[in-house]
Amino acid sequence: MSREAVQIGEAAKVSGVKVPTIRYYEQIGLLPALSRTEGNRRTYDAADVQRLVFIRHARELGFEIDAIRALLSLQDKPNQSCAEADAIARARLAEVDQRLTSLSALKAELKHMIEGCAHGKIAQCRVIEVLADHGECRHHFA
């Protein structure tokens, strides 16, 4: 992308962030106040587009908006310790680990339900029984 300011459509194309999402990020303050043309259109410079790329990538990794806001604030102060950024990433990793544990338990439960199915009539279907009575589950999910 050139150093020249671009309008929202080009910023969306280059960053991979949809126009309505860019407007939302502006509304909630993830993007700083933007320059405007004489016709009152927003313009985005290379730093704005790079910030959009950062936000998009963080969202793809599952970071919540508040965590992204904190990371952007840290990014704006490059001479400070990265301990806070590390803590934010570690918290996200813990969330992922918890989700993986939950998904593993879910997988085991589904396998158990399917293996218990006698392929007979619905009246004796283990899948239906387990879904009808949560107490029948071997694993309980949050």
**Average pLDDT of the chain to the nearest whole number:** 87
Q: What is the mean pLDDT of residues 47-59?
A: 96
The residues with which 44 forms a beta bridge, in sequence order, are 6
Burial label, 82 (beta-carbon count in 10 A; 0-12, 13-18, 19+): exposed
* Per-residue confidence (pLDDT) for residue 118, from 0 to 100: 67
Tell me how many degrees the CA angle 110-114-117 measures, rounded to the nearest 5. Answer: 145
Query: What pLDDT digit, counting tens, does each position of 75-118 carry?
Result: 988 898 899 999 999 999 999 999 999 999 889 888 887 877 76
Alpha helices (H) in the chain, listed in sequence order:
8-15, 19-27, 46-60, 65-75, 83-115, 126-132
* Per-residue confidence (pLDDT) for residue 110, from 0 to 100: 84
pLDDT at 2 over 50: no
* Per-residue confidence (pLDDT) for residue 109, from 0 to 100: 84
Which residues, at least 6 apart from 72, have a Cβ–Cβ distance to it below 8 Å?
Answer: 30, 51, 54, 55
Q: Which domains can be identified in the chain, with CATH numbers?
A: 8-80 (1.10.1660.10)
Residue 92, both tokens: 């996200």
Q: What is the mean pLDDT of residues 47-57?
A: 95
